[in-house]
């Protein structure tokens, strides 16, 4: 029951954010300019729901040592070829960070459809914040 509750919380707490890494060195680009340039976000095989489901299946909370609310964030880059690199996990709880890192490394074996801008593949930074409550 406890594991089911944690999985439900995990699924409901996944908010995915992203950042375009522009080849021309610009750091900011407006949403309007992205639309004009035909921006397409990087896509996990099967889409974002498949990513959430696979992350939930892969994430092992049994070794997390904590009570209360824990927050961690994974960031990684999806290359122009669709491979995952530069995985960074941040958060105050080391056991939660390790569990997230293991899950992301497992998911990184899948080849993503790269993000596109102006019809060309580009690097894409993916942010995955997770908040869980342990009792």
> What does each of the 135 residues of the chain score in pLDDT, given as a tens digit?
445 444 544 544 444 555 566 666 665 677 788 788 888 899 999 998 999 899 989 998 888 888 888 899 999 999 999 999 999 999 999 999 999 999 999 999 999 999 998 899 999 888 989 888 887
Q: How many domains does the structure of the chain reveal?
A: 1
Burial of 18 per CB tally in 10 Å (0-12, 13-18, 19+) = middle
- Look up the CATH number of the domain holding residue 26: 3.30.1150
**What's the CA gap between 12 and 40, in Å, rounded?**
25
Domain, as residue range, for 58: 2-134
Q: Residue 96 burial by CB count (10 A; 0-12/13-18/19+): exposed, middle or buried?
A: buried
């Amino acid at each position: 029951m406890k594991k089911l509750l944690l999985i439900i919380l995990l699924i409901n707490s996944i908010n995915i954010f992203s950042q375009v890494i522009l080849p021309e060195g610009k750091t900011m680009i407006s949403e309007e300019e992205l639309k004009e340039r035909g921006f397409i976000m990087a896509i996990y095989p099967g889409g974002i729901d498949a990513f959430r489901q696979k992350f939930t299946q892969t994430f092992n909370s049994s070794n997390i040592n904590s009570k209360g609310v824990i927050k961690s964030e994974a960031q990684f880059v999806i290359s122009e070829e669709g491979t995952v690199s530069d995985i960074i996990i941040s958060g105050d709880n080391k056991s939660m960070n390790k569990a997230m890192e293991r899950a992301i490394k497992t998911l990184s074996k899948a080849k993503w459809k790269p993000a596109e801008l102006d019809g060309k593949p580009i690097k894409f930074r993916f942010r995955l914040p997770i908040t869980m409550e342990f009792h």
